[in-house]
Structure 1
Amino acid sequence: MNGYLNESNFLMVEEGFTTRDLLENLLGELCQESHQQAFFVADLGDIVKKHLRFLKALPRVKPYFPVKCNGSEGVIRLLAELGAGFACANKAEITRVQGIGVPADRIFYSSPCKQVAHIRYAAAHGVRLMAFDNEVELSKVARSHPRARMLLGITADSIPPAHPSMTFGTTLKSCRHLLETAKEQAVEVVGISFHLGSRGLEPQAWAQAVATAQLVFDMGTELGHPMHLLDIGGGFPGTEDTRALLEEMAAGINSALDLYFPEGSGVDIVARPGRYYVTSAFTLAVSITALEETPMEQPGSDEEECGSKKSLVYHLSDGIYGAFSCLLFDSPCPRPRLHKRPCPEQPWHSSSLRGPPGPGEDRIADGLELPQLHVGDWLLFGNMGAYSMPSSSLLTAAPQARVTYAMSRVAWKAVQLFQGKPPQAEDDRESLCMPLSCGWEMAETLCVTPVFAPAGII
């Protein structure tokens, strides 16, 4: 074992014990204590399953997990144990990853806009792989980190971005100039980076982007840069209702890689799957702390009937500046599940969800049909693993929701075998042909030979 993760970092659960069971146990304890703070339950076995599936679908691609997607310690420790690399956006994320012992050659400083102080910090701590897409960034790196190895970020010109104002990456027209400038400033460019995001679901997007990358590779090689690394970014689906999409996307990616960067070409391939790894692994529990009632006027109805129709606003123990910060990243709000089953005769009302009362509007969801709920009731939200761990820079005084990590014994044995260490008990390889997740909707089994090298590429 690499030593990043051990049994003290999570709850070991036996086969048949589900995430729902764990939630029920925790909620029972909290209700006795009159505790209302939101919390997560994280099924680490779900992440193990996703990792094995990713390697099977994209055998040439080494995953680098973007820490900004979920920087919780349990996730970082598990992925480090599994040999993944990490894409860090700033000094704090580099510090967090190196703090558990991850070596610098498994870290990619992926932000194309970096503070000079952070570049110097990366240089002092051995992090060499970085991204750039403009001359200003190139000059900062040339002055502050002369030993850096750079990836030029490109955008596929023919693919319209979902959010033009948020797009990073230079155009094909500008690539030669930037590569020439890098050569003049003695900055080593070792490859190309792109990120399609949600556009990766389009059939031709990967082929177009990889083809563009191959053209820029040729430019770099012609100018004397040691081009050997291609970063294909992220955009892989993270929920079970789109589970078939990974294999469909992988077929297009593998076809494009085989055409433009075939095996034996000397080019290493990395990706940055974020939502894919963590979305479905996390379930959030929040309590109702306050409610507001507003009568709904029904045209043509008498007073008595109007009085029975009302709109309810529920204030929850966490909001968009905390565990629901994923809503700030264009994520749809998952539909809540009720902790307690409602009585059949209970009326249902048009309902809205808000965060804790405060000076600003903390809008979580509107237009929900929910039964009558009360202060102290709990709501459960699945698929909450991505962008739900807010950074300390957000303006909120609320405590961050704690995380309880769990892993099935079968999944833990898979992690041990994955590192080439025999399980501590009587198990054989057949034990891996069992569900690795303790989630209550998990049906998939995986039998994958557990062989994979750590993701260091420089």
Structure 2
Amino acid sequence: MTMSVPAGELGTPYLRFDLDGLDRAYRAMRDALPEARVHYAMKCNPARPILARLRELGASFEIASAAELGELRAIGVPAAEVLFSNPVKVPAHVRQAWTAGVYRFAVDSDAELDKIASAAPGAAVYVRLATTAGGSAVPSEGKFGVGPGAAARLLRGARARGLRAYGITFHVGSQMTDPGAWADAIERCAAVMTGLRRTGIRLAMLDVGGGFPARYDSDVPDLRTYAKHIRTAIDRHVPYPVELVVEPGRALVAQAGVMVATVIGVARRGGARWAHLDVGAFNGFMEALETRTALRYPVCDSRDSPRRDSFHLTGPTCDSQDTVRYSVPLSADLAVGDRVYLQVAGAYTTAYASRFNGFDPPGLRFVCSAGAP
């Protein structure tokens, strides 16, 4: 039996990130879609060792701000390889990115076209198409995107403003478990491409976005299944060859991370057992709050006792919403000072973490487990 250690002496919480696990995830993506250029969505986890390893593996990157671009330039990523996919950008960020060498910018409005024409004259733009797909565990659509007619109009408007009508993109929603979700969006993109070709505009890029899932507490389809659906839709509908781009985030980093936490309190309330951890929704697991705990992280503990009991795992703050998971089977003798390991935690944990209520965000520790399953 593992002995308890007083809370505060373990240096928790921290995210233990396996860089070799990142290698495996990246290679799985490349093997599934070798014809696609991988642009990592760095918002998912912008830690510099992760960016550097992906750079070594041959990845490109997608950003939403000038600060993210600064991180990439610090490790030698050429700005020309970066996609600025945030459809609504800070004007000063557009100027900084353009000056640095970024030349491709996403848009979904006339105001954004005007902004780019002013701050980045002659730049290439790609329009964000709205999607109708549902079924993602972390819905992310609705804020951005336009219909096919508006997309075509914006790309024609880009040319009228002296910009290059470069491509079209979409996002089906984060943690999308339906591989068929891409098909409708690709067909709609193809219709825009066909219509534009009649007016003399030929696009160079089809960016099918991210949304590829990680395996949390249940199975998800293999990446090759997603690739088959994407490839079939392109072969069936896209009217001419274009550069294919994907923007994975979660699928590359989630399973490489384990959040190591310490139990700071145990209690029985209303017939339920609660384990209070030194990490919670506000300092690491905001997606638990976003999804009302529907995103279920696999969990185990340092005691690993054969006798089990059900626990609600909650965070250290005094906010009643600060809960990560409900009804998790853990060691029945779980006690203050024990460690709890929340797996598949490499995505959106340290990136989202705040100091709400004065609790520190998790640290980061990098390991290499070459050959590990």
Q: Shorter-chain TM-score: what band?
A: 0.7 to 0.9
| Shift of residue 237, structure 1, vs aligned partner | 2.2
- Residue pairs, 1:322-333, within 5 angstroms: 322-330=283-291, 332-333=295-296
Q: Are 2:48 and 1:85 equivalent residues in the alignment?
A: no
* Residues 1:46 and 2:13 aligned together: no
Give the match for residue 363 of structure 2. Answer: 402
1:221 is aligned to 2:221: no
Matched, 1:141 2:102: no
Alignment of 1:190-201 (within 5 A): 190-197=166-173, 201=177
Inter-partner Cα distance in structure 2 for 1:352 and 1:164: 27
Helix, strand or coil: the match of 2:368? strand
The aligned residue for residue 37 of structure 2 is 62
Asked whether the equivalents of residues 37 and 317 of structure 1 are also in contact (C-alpha less than 8 Å), the reply is yes
> How many pairs were matched up?
367
Q: TM-score, normalization: structure 2?
A: 0.88
Question: Which residue does 1:123 correspond to in 2?
Answer: 98
Distance 2:92 2:166 in 1: 23
- From 297, 305, 318, the equivalent of 1:334 is 297
Q: 2:345 aligns with which of 371, 377, 384?
A: 384
Letter aligned with residue 196 of structure 2? G
| Residue 363 in structure 1 maps to residue 323 in structure 2 | yes
In structure 1, list runs of 5 or more residues that go unmatched: 1-26, 297-309, 412-435, 443-458
Deviation (angstroms), 1:105? 1.8
Q: What SS is found at the alignment partner of 2:222?
A: helix
CA–CA distance in 1 between the matches of 2:43 and 2:27?
22
Alpha-carbon separation, structure 1, partners of 2:303 and 2:175: 39
Give 1:238 deviation, angstroms.
1.9
1:109 aligns with 2:84: yes
What CA distance in whole angstroms lies between the structure 2 residues aligned with 1:363 and 1:33? 20
Q: Are 1:208 and 2:168 an aligned pair? A: no
Render the CA deviation track for 1:62-112: whole Å, top value 9, x for unaligned: 111101111112211111111111111122211112221111122111111
CA pair 109-328 structure 1, distance change in 2 beyond 3 A: farther
The letter of the residue matching 2:27 is: L
Identity of aligned residues (%): 27
State the match for 2:313 in structure 1. Answer: 353
- Over aligned residue pairs, what C-alpha RMSD do you find? 3.0
What are the within-5 Å matches in structure 2 for residues 169-184 of structure 1? 169-184=145-160
- Tell me: CA distance 1:72–1:358, structure 2 relative to 1, closer, same or farther (3 Å): same
Whole-angstrom distance in 2 between the partners of 1:205 and 1:39 = 35
Partner of 2:213: 237
**What SS is found at the alignment partner of 1:122?**
helix
How much does 1:180 deviate? 2.7
Check if 1:248 corresponds to 2:208.
no
Alpha carbons of structure 1 residues 354 and 119: separation in structure 2 relative to 1, 3 Å: same
Amino acid across the alignment from 2:323:
R
Over residues 387-442 of structure 1, what are the superposed CA-to-partner deviations in whole Å (9 max), with x where a residue is unaligned?
1123477756433322222224xx5xxxxxxxxxxxxxxxxxxxxxxxx4x3xxx2
Residue identity matched to 1:378: R
Instruction: State the Cα distance separating 1:314 from its structure 2 match.
Output: 2.2
For residues 267 and 384 of structure 1, the distance between their equivalents in structure 2, rounded to whole angstroms, comes to 35
Mapped partners of 2:210, 2:135: distance in 1 = 14
- Normalized per residue, the structure richer in helix is 1
| Paired AA for residue 258 in structure 1 | D
TM superposition score normalised by structure 1: 0.72
CA distance in 1 between counterparts of 2:290 and 2:165 reads: 31
Who is 1:319 aligned against?
A: 280
CA distance in 2, matches of 1:244, 1:233: 18
Q: Does structure 2 conserve the Cα–Cα contact (< 8 Å) formed by 1:200 and 1:206?
A: no
User: 5+ residue gaps in structure 2?
Assistant: none
Q: Deviations over 1:337-389 (max 9, x none)?
A: 01112264xx73x5322211335641222233441322111101111111112
Distance 2:86 2:56 in 1: 24
Task: Please identify, of 366-375 and 84-93, the stretch whose mean Cα deviation from structure 2 is larger.
Answer: 366-375
Does the 8 Å CA contact 1:292/1:314 hold for their aligned counterparts?
yes
Aligned equivalent of 1:414: none
* Structure 2 equivalent of residue 302 of structure 1: none
Looking at structure 2, the residues matched to 311 and 183 of structure 1 have their Cα atoms a distance apart, in angstroms, of 62
What is the DSSP-based 3-state SS (H/G/I as helix, E as strand, rest coil) of the residue aligned with 1:242?
coil
Structure 1 range deviating more: 51-60 or 393-402: 393-402
**Which of 274, 277, 285 is the matching residue for 2:260?**
285
Distance 1:97 1:320 in 2: 28
